[in-house]
Amino acid sequence: MKLTVVIVSYNVCDYLQQCLISLRRALKNVDAQVVVVDNHSKDDTVERLRKKFHEVQFISSNHNLGFSKANNLAIKQSNGQYVLLLNPDTIVGESVIDQCLTFMDSHPKAGGLGVQMLKADGSKANESRRGLPTPMTAFYKMSGLCSRFPKSRRFGKYYMGYLSWDEAAEIEVVSGAFFMLRREALDKVGLLDEDYFMYGEDIDLSYRLLKGGWQNWYLPAKILHYKGESTVKSSFRYVHVFYEAMLIFFKKHYSHLSFLLGIPIKMAIYAKASMAFFSTLWHRLKKSLGFIDRKTPTCRYVFICRQEHMDACKTFVRQKAIDAVFVEGDNVSLPEGHLSQKVKDVLNASSCQYIVYDISSYSFDNILELFSRNPQDNLFLATYDPENNIVITAEDVLK
């Protein structure tokens, strides 16, 4: 078997469904297996999706194993020449898997491969290319020098901002949201470190690949990662788990540093964690007191769909009582989608808008290409699935 795709899911049934729809298209000509490990979700993920995706193997855990253990469970039961670790809140373009497999086949020293991840506004996620968080690289990131000089080879090393977005390049850390791995490399360096419950395991595995003599690469094939910027980062649990992962990585890989150097690094991690904790506490306090975040506008929905789905879209909008406009189009009749003059004529330049693409009318490749071509602060990607009558945005699911 050429490829095993492993997805770990936890209470994101509708995002996972969309991810599996995109995978079904992307794996059309690939000898592959898809394994979903559900970490004891409360939204009936397995029951709802098993009957819709007969080609997918579902493993239902009776408790939350965490990211590393759940992935390892599936990897041990699989036999693909390559393994793809994929987040459930992603959309994979139809050509992405083929591009990645072709690249890996032609680069035998490539142990890991990542892709160009897009945010919901079409902008590129910095996490697509990262450098190892060495003590100095981490200091430049936490001190703000990385964001101040993003293209500097020294100060901007954390996100490797000096690399071209449009060319394949060697990188140091591959994101766990889309991490293609060579089975041979995994067999030699080992599976994900289960000391990490969530976060940090991708950095650790990337580092071990490099130390094992393998290469990590970035490929400019596009996927969407819906939750790249919004994954419960205001929760206390995120603060605890994320900074605990930083400490695990430091203790594991930099314990050889001198005592005097180790102390300030640990202090910096604890200080950053404390700041994040109190920021979260303040956010919770304001919310409990009834303060309204005036920066969060109500978005209008701009549907782009085929004529035969127009009535269903309009009925959906009436039932949900949302502000919406409609434009007829598909890959053939309106290939430029929301960038066409036909759609621009109905856009409101000053308001927040979801561009809702009918996924039966457009390929995911085309949707992602259009959104990445001209990112705008007030335009966000959303999808409409006519088969399941559902609209998905980065923040919400309407059904």
CA nearest neighbour of 16 among 386, 385, 380: 385
Q: How confident is the model at residue 279 (pLDDT cuts 50, 70, 90)?
A: low
pLDDT at 16: 96
Instruction: Please check whether residues 329 and 244 belong to one and the same domain.
Output: no
pLDDT at 176: 93
d(CA 155, CA 130): 12
Reply yes or no on whether the pLDDT at 351 is more than 50. Answer: yes
Instruction: Please check whether residues 281 and 317 belong to one and the same domain.
Output: no
d(CA 88, CA 73): 17
Mean pLDDT of 393-398: 92
d(CA 225, CA 218): 16
Instruction: Please check whether residues 181 and 254 belong to one and the same domain.
Output: no
| pLDDT tens-place string over residues 68-112 | 899 999 999 999 999 999 999 999 999 999 999 999 999 999 999
pLDDT at 264: 60
pLDDT at 233: 47
Q: Is residue 368 part of a domain?
A: yes
pLDDT at 20: 98
Looking at 77-144, list the stretches that DSSP marks H as alpha helix, in order from N- to C-terminal side: 96-106, 135-143
Q: Is residue 92 part of a domain?
A: yes
pLDDT at 247: 65
Q: Is residue 293 part of a domain?
A: no
Q: What is the reported pTM?
A: 0.87
Kindly report the CATH number assigned to the domain that includes residue 344. 3.40.50
Q: Is residue 138 part of a domain?
A: yes
Instruction: Please check whether residues 25 and 137 belong to one and the same domain.
Output: yes
When divided into structural domains, the chain yields a total of 3
Mean pLDDT of 47-57: 95
Reply yes or no on whether the pLDDT at 294 is more than 90. Answer: no
Instruction: Please check whether residues 129 and 68 belong to one and the same domain.
Output: yes
pLDDT at 240: 54
Instruction: Please check whether residues 197 and 325 belong to one and the same domain.
Output: no
Residue 188: both structure tokens together: 């030699």
Reply yes or no on whether the pLDDT at 203 is more than 80. Answer: yes
Q: How confident is the model at residue 335 (pLDDT cuts 50, 70, 90)?
A: very high
Q: Where are the beta strands (DSSP E) in 54-165?
A: 56-60, 82-86, 90-92, 110-118
Instruction: Please check whether residues 170 and 311 belong to one and the same domain.
Output: no
Reply yes or no on whether the pLDDT at 29 is more than 90. Answer: yes
| pLDDT tens-place string over residues 109-159 | 999 999 999 999 999 999 999 999 887 887 788 788 999 999 999 999 999
Q: Is residue 294 part of a domain?
A: no
Reply yes or no on whether the pLDDT at 284 is more than 90. Answer: no
Instruction: Please check whether residues 23 and 163 belong to one and the same domain.
Output: yes
| pLDDT tens-place string over residues 158-184 | 999 999 999 999 999 999 999 999 999
Instruction: Please check whether residues 241 and 324 belong to one and the same domain.
Output: no
Q: Is residue 230 part of a domain?
A: no
- Which range marks the domain in which residue 365 is found? 300-398
Mean pLDDT of 364-388: 95
| pLDDT tens-place string over residues 222-278 | 999 987 433 444 455 555 566 566 666 676 666 665 454 555 656 655 666 666 667
Mean pLDDT of 16-42: 96
Domain endpoint, select from 206, 225, 244:
225
CA nearest neighbour of 313 among 219, 248, 386, 208: 386
Instruction: Please check whether residues 82 and 185 belong to one and the same domain.
Output: yes
Instruction: Please check whether residues 268 and 312 belong to one and the same domain.
Output: no
Whether 330 and 307 have beta carbons less than 8 Å apart is answered as: no
pLDDT at 142: 73
Reply yes or no on whether the pLDDT at 66 is more than 90. Answer: no
Q: What percent of the chain has pLDDT over 70?
A: 82
pLDDT at 228: 45
Secondary structure element (H or E) that encloses residue 20, with its range: helix 13-26
Q: Which of 226-240, 288-302, 316-330 has the lowest mean pLDDT?
A: 226-240
Reply yes or no on whether the pLDDT at 296 is more than 70. Answer: no
Mean pLDDT of 313-340: 95
Instruction: Please check whether residues 256 and 321 belong to one and the same domain.
Output: no
Q: Is residue 295 part of a domain?
A: no
d(CA 114, CA 165): 12
Whether 177 and 224 have beta carbons less than 8 Å apart is answered as: no
What are residue 273's phi and psi, to 5 degrees? -65, -40
Residue 284: both structure tokens together: 């919770």
- Residue listed under structure tokens 């109190």: 278
